[in-house]
Structure 1
Amino acid sequence: MSDSSRHLGDSLARWSPVLVVGGGMIAAGPPDGLTANAWWFASVFIATIVGFLTRPLAMGPLVLVALLTLLFAGAFGTGAKAVEGMLSGFADATVWLVVAAFLLSGTVVRTGFGRRIALMLIRSLGQTTLGLGYAIAGSELILGPIIPAATARGGAVMAPIVNSLALALGATPHGERRRTGGYLVLCGAHANLIASAMFFTGMAANPQLAIFARDALGVDDWDWMNWLRGSWPMGLVGFALLPWILFKLHRPDLTHSPEARQEAVDELKAMGPWSGKQIAVGLLLVAMVIAWALEPYHGVYAAGIALAGIAVILILNIDRWTDLTGDRAAWDSLIWLGGLVGMAKYLKSEGVIDWFAALMKDQVVGLHGVTAAVALGLIYFFSMYAFSMMTGHIMAMAGAFFVVAHAAGSPAMLIIPMISYFSNLCGCLTNYSTGQVVIYSGFDYVTTRRWFAVGFGVAIFHLVVWLGIGLPYWKLIGWW
């Protein structure tokens, strides 16, 4: 069989589930309570989620195909109004917060600011291997709110540093000191997920959860500050204990690490003194974090602050416009997230969300609201095993779980934080859950079987911390 034939066969295999699901739903016709137009939106949306799993195309073009399918099917109406309806999601403020987050991340990486912060922590804490674990976790804690894209933070900044530290300690993927290298990459991967859970801008898809909360539950203030208000105690406990937990679960074969600390010292010397651009980036990021926290007082939404930060970067010549616009991940996120937000709005306006809520209400009768929320949270957490991407997991399930919990009588401000934080923490379960985890796993210091075993242990740790502390804490602050 030729390469082109194999490629065609592989493409058909990936498209087949999408076409079968979407085409099958449309052919079956709308159920009672939904119009034909509403059913088109439901069918194409679900088929798109299936496409996220089978990946016949990247997310951006796949969503574009879905939008055009709805346009030519007449679901958006006719004429210019139909095209405006198709593009409605691209004007959403949350979508532009994600785009701005990616652009800011690129500047932090290109100026060397993020790398310098990480190396300074390693220089301070890197005398022991456990200390290196805490330096890696501390770097994620500091960089979490100021590099607002998990893959950029973990893959572009931290992963190369972690790998170089492992090599400095003499670790090799298939030989001496492999467990030491494995300990470091596990710290990098799992600390990244806690930072992603702790901060609203810690992962690109987090703002989508705010959109689901608004559309499904009518909660319109699940924003940067409220997210942090609900996460900081568990996040800090998680960071404080994670390196020690991993030290017990995957004990390194080298406990002292002066070589790694010396490498950090040498790399900082090679970087030279703080540059003007690095200082400017640091001050700007601190100002932006303060502005995000003070949003209730000045009234400027987080996206506006992020875009203002980009304007300052350009005015002060901290970064170049050509470099900012060359960030493909930012524009890809604009297409897939904007398209999905647009479809989600029509699912709401066409009555699909309300229909689903009424349908699920009968399935959860008899469950106490809090019990239902915890049960749904656990199901949502472990369902991540079936997904190869946290974003796909969120898009496929988070909104539906909000609706089901609401039907069960669960307090909105119990299920929203639980699902939101679990959306990131559940990435600990596998070595294929998200981009930065794949990068760390690809260093090959930890076997797949071992990664799953350690991941399950970390999952139990997260559940103990985020439910054991989170539930009473959210009660204390009046969320349920």
Structure 2
Amino acid sequence: MNKKAIIKLIAVLLIPVIVWNIPAPSGLEAETWHLVAIYLGLLGGLIVKPLDEPIITLVIVGFASMFMDAELLLSGYGNDMAWFIAIVTIVCTAFVKTGLGRRMAYIMLQRSGNSTLGLGYLMMLIDLILSPATGSNASRTTIIYPIFRNIAEGVDSHPDDNPRKLGGYLTMLAYVTSQSTAALFLTGMATNAITASLAIEMLNIELTWGSWFMASVVPGGLVLLLGPYVVYKLYKPELTGLSDVKVQAKQGLAEMGEITSAEKKLFVIFILAILGWMFGPKIAFLSLGIQSVGFVFLALLLVTRVLNWSDVIGAKGAWHLFVWYGAFYGVASSLADAGFYTWLADRLGGILDLSNVNGLLVTAVLLAISLAVRYFFVSNSAYVASFYPVIFAIALGTQANPMVLTLLLAFFASYGALLTHYGNGAGLIAFASGYVSQKEFWKIGTIMVAIALVIYFAIGLPYWKIIGIW
């Protein structure tokens, strides 16, 4: 390690040490406060990054396990979402191994426009078409991203070689688009249903599929349409024209020849997976959640010998992600079980006396708080389920319009995930590819959140006034 890395490592390790030795605040058990210290250390490690994410994670968890129950620290490795993300990352290697991803990429390139920006809008359109029926933007990303990643690799843009040529742009856009379509429909991601159920239970506000879409279509539609262009400007690919690439795509298809048996098997299993992700949760007697479909997808690839065990253990990106995310998720879940988030929200409610403040300002403040705490959550569903009830409770004693606040919180449950790469499964899948650095991921995501805020307050609120929502 060089001197700079050593200084960073010492700084990161000091975070949990210092917080650990501060007396626990009133209302928190000492063990819960120690978990907060570990969480802040893990978060600091991800941000400062003195070592690779899995290494700094194992270092912090290893030292912490000497002083507290290791089960609390390691519980995330049994979480179904951690395994799902690892599995779909492994599955992506099948598209590379068989060549099906490259073939699909070549076909799409031949039928796309002549610009890279046009290719970005094609990605957005495909995500938009799938979003009302998929019910999980993480599963949509597993469907869409491998195809566009293969387009990048087809033009010699790889995570460790020419990432900015095309792959970086498509990777970042995959996350931005996924979160934008998730906000557009009530069925765009699973977390939306949690928000809707909390709204009717606590505020007596019913969000139907139609009312959700009516409220989101103008501001959410603008955010969606701007996404490819904004990401293009913020993270412009070196390859801006596709005219020469189309010729290469035609030649590439010719060189690949006839579709192989392995490609045919993968294509059939891929279609079955898409159907499973779209309709599986609706088949009650099977209980086909997105995780179950992911496991079956991988199992079928192994049984049909499209992949083998060497391919599974060789998927370094999947295991890299699993190691740090599993620990991160485990500590965050333990904090939720210990009541930390409820304590934090109660403290915020006690500090903030918003009863005599203008209702729109109250809405803005509560929305800002909801975004600020996103850095503490590695699950969208856990975030909404544990923190939104407190936000709603605080709002009840203020002049904030309940419908306006509910809609903004509902939509920014999705957009807010863009603040980090771990805020939603779709981000983890895209980030695991290695095309975009964590710094760029956070920067571009934060800018997109800021743009969404401007659009919703400057255009969304007047639009909702016109159509009679408030």
Q: Any gaps of 5 or more consecutive residues in structure 1?
A: 1-6, 77-82, 165-171, 174-180, 201-205, 220-225, 385-390, 428-432, 442-447
Shift in alpha-carbon separation, 1:473–1:154, aligned structure 2, 3 A = farther
Q: Following the alignment from structure 1 to structure 2, what is the Cα–Cα distance between the partners of residues 50 and 254?
A: 35
Q: Following the alignment from structure 1 to structure 2, what is the Cα–Cα distance between the partners of residues 251 and 89?
A: 36
Secondary structure of the structure 1 residue equivalent to 2:21: helix
Which residue does 2:175 correspond to in 1?
A: 193
Which residue does 2:283 correspond to in 1?
A: 297
| Contact 1:425 1:462 (8 Å CA) reproduced | no
Shift in alpha-carbon separation, 1:122–1:138, aligned structure 2, 3 A = farther
Task: Please list the CA deviations of residues 146-197 of structure 1 after superposition, one character each: whole Å capped at 9, or x if unmatched.
Answer: 6846997499534334567xxxxxxx99xxxxxxx98x67863553233442
- 1:344 equivalent to 2:332? Answer yes
Q: Following the alignment from structure 1 to structure 2, what is the Cα–Cα distance between the partners of residues 379 and 358?
A: 13
Aligned amino acid, residue 49 of structure 1? L
Which of 38, 56, 80 is the aligned partner of 1:93?
Answer: 80
Q: How does 1:439-478 map to 2 (within 5 A)?
A: 439=435, 462-463=452-453
Shift of 1:300: 2.4
Q: How does 1:209-248 map to 2 (within 5 A)?
A: 242=227
Shift in alpha-carbon separation, 1:129–1:394, aligned structure 2, 3 A = same
- 1:35 equivalent to 2:24? Answer no
Q: How does 1:231-310 map to 2 (within 5 A)?
A: 242=227, 258-294=243-279, 295-298=281-284, 299-310=287-298
Q: Any gaps of 5 or more consecutive residues in structure 2?
A: 131-136, 183-187, 202-208, 396-401, 422-427
| Contact 2:32 2:340 (8 Å CA) reproduced | yes
Which residue does 2:51 correspond to in 1?
A: 57
Aligned amino acid, residue 283 of structure 2? Y
Q: Following the alignment from structure 1 to structure 2, what is the Cα–Cα distance between the partners of residues 347 and 156?
A: 36
Shift of 1:134: 4.0
Number of positions where the alignment pairs a residue of Structure 1 with one of Structure 2: 413
Shift in alpha-carbon separation, 1:107–1:10, aligned structure 2, 3 A = same
Shift of 1:238: 5.8
| Contact 1:114 1:157 (8 Å CA) reproduced | yes
Q: Following the alignment from structure 2 to structure 1, what is the Cα–Cα distance between the partners of residues 239 and 98?
A: 33
Q: Following the alignment from structure 1 to structure 2, what is the Cα–Cα distance between the partners of residues 60 and 84?
A: 18
Q: How does 1:105-124 map to 2 (within 5 A)?
A: 105-124=92-111
Instruction: Report sequence identity in percent.
Output: 22
Q: How does the TM-score come out when normalised to structure 1?
A: 0.66
Q: How does the TM-score come out when normalised to structure 2?
A: 0.67
Task: Please list the CA deviations of residues 209-256 of structure 1 after superposition, one character each: whole Å capped at 9, or x if unmatched.
Answer: 89x99xx99x9xxxxxx9xx9899688776656556778999999998
Shift in alpha-carbon separation, 1:356–1:192, aligned structure 2, 3 A = same
C-alpha RMSD over aligned residues: 5.3
Which residue does 2:314 correspond to in 1?
A: 326
Which residue does 1:125 correspond to in 2?
A: 112
Secondary structure of the structure 1 residue equivalent to 2:175: helix
Secondary structure of the structure 2 residue equivalent to 1:72: coil
Shift in alpha-carbon separation, 1:238–1:195, aligned structure 2, 3 A = same
Which residue does 1:313 correspond to in 2?
A: 301
Shift in alpha-carbon separation, 1:120–1:232, aligned structure 2, 3 A = farther
Aligned amino acid, residue 81 of structure 2? T
Q: Following the alignment from structure 2 to structure 1, what is the Cα–Cα distance between the partners of residues 191 and 8?
A: 27
Task: Please list the CA deviations of residues 12-71 of structure 1 after superposition, one character each: whole Å capped at 9, or x if unmatched.
Answer: 311232233222222221122222222111111112211111112222232233333332
Shift in alpha-carbon separation, 1:110–1:463, aligned structure 2, 3 A = farther
